[in-house]
Amino acid sequence: MSGQPTQAAQRASGSSFYSGMRILPRPQREAMFEIYSFCRAVDDVADDPGPREPRREQLQRWRADIDALYRGAPPQQLTGLARAVREFDLQREDFLAVIDGMEMDVVADIRAPDAATLALYCDRVACAVGRLSVRVFGMERGAGLALADHLGRALQLTNILRDLDEDAAMGRLYLPREALRDCGIIGTDPTTVLANPMLGEACGVLVRQAQAHFRQAEAIMAQNPRRAVRAPRIMGEAYGLILGRLAARGFAPPRPRVRLPRPRLLLIVLRNLV
């Protein structure tokens, strides 16, 4: 029924990006919901606490489904995504990159990766999603790719800093090895690292990196048509505020969860609609 939200829309309604997606014109909005639904589904596979091999097999089935979609025979659950692929010329390699990023979490728990591995992980799980999104937003290719890279990394680094304790509970630690080592933190056990009094220094490295990416993203958006960057600007402003609150809170335990109050988010949305 046309008045009923699609399954993809219902899944997206729980996303922190929902407000940014919701303001888009209907074809773009529905395409973004489909992209988000795909990302959420493969992320659920990565975060499942079950055995690793069945999860790798699930991700391989997702690869096969994406291949089938691009052959013109999408599985039933991907018919909506297939429509978005056709309408916005979404690229197969970006979907596969997202799956590859999720597989990095499945093969083994990521613990204090080196900077190159963290950069690759961010590219796959965040920038690839950005590359899909900027096609939907209608951005020019060069500017879109640059925005996907900088905003994707800024958002993912903010997520890493926000989710330190949740990730540690799953045996994961995404803080880069070099930042930890430079602060005198040698181990990679998540619980031990998060209790180290020098943790804030290591997190400060990621805070500064994320801030630099946010500045680059803002500069790109300032040079592009407002209608094309309205949604990413909302996402960037919201996450920039979260990053600022994380930095102000600090990273010593206990670390209360940082959330953006809904009235503040609505204010950001309204300001970008006017």
* Cα distance between residue 66 and residue 211, in whole Å: 34
pLDDT tens, N- to C-terminus, the chain (274 residues): 345 556 666 655 556 667 778 889 999 999 999 999 999 999 999 999 999 999 999 999 999 999 999 999 999 999 999 999 999 999 999 999 999 999 999 999 999 999 999 999 999 999 999 999 999 999 999 999 999 999 999 999 999 999 999 999 999 999 999 999 999 999 999 999 999 999 999 999 999 999 999 999 999 999 999 999 999 999 999 999 999 999 999 999 999 999 998 889 889 888 888 7
Q: What is the pLDDT of residue 171?
A: 97
Burial class of 116 by CB neighbour count within 10 A (0 to 12, 13 to 18, 19+): exposed
pLDDT of residue 2: 43
Q: Taking the domains of the chain in order of start, what are their residue ranges?
A: 17-273
pLDDT value of residue 159: 97
pLDDT score of 194: 98
Of residues 124, 211, 117, the one with CA closest to residue 161: 211
Question: How many residues are present in the chain?
Answer: 274
| 8 Å CB contact between 29 and 22 | yes
pLDDT at 7 (0 to 100): 67
Phi, psi at 111, each rounded to 5°: -135, 115
Enumerate the β-bridge partners of residue 111: 173
Residue 247 tokens read as: 């930095």
DSSP state, residue 114: -
Phi/psi of residue 250, nearest 5 degrees: 85, 175
Q: Do residues 236 and 216 touch, judged by C-beta distance below 8 A? A: no
pLDDT of 17 reads 67
Separation of alpha carbons 47 and 105, rounded Å? 8
The encoded tokens of residue 227 equal: 């209608």
Q: 201-205 long-range CB contacts below 8 Å, 24 or more apart?
A: 202/175, 203/161, 203/164, 203/175, 203/251, 204/247, 205/176, 205/179
**Cα 249 from chain centroid (whole Å):** 22
Question: 17-273 sits in which CATH class?
Answer: mainly alpha
Q: Please name the residue ranges forming H helices in the chain.
A: 7-12, 18-22, 26-47, 52-70, 79-88, 92-107, 115-122, 128-137, 141-162, 164-169, 177-182, 190-194, 199-222, 226-249, 262-273
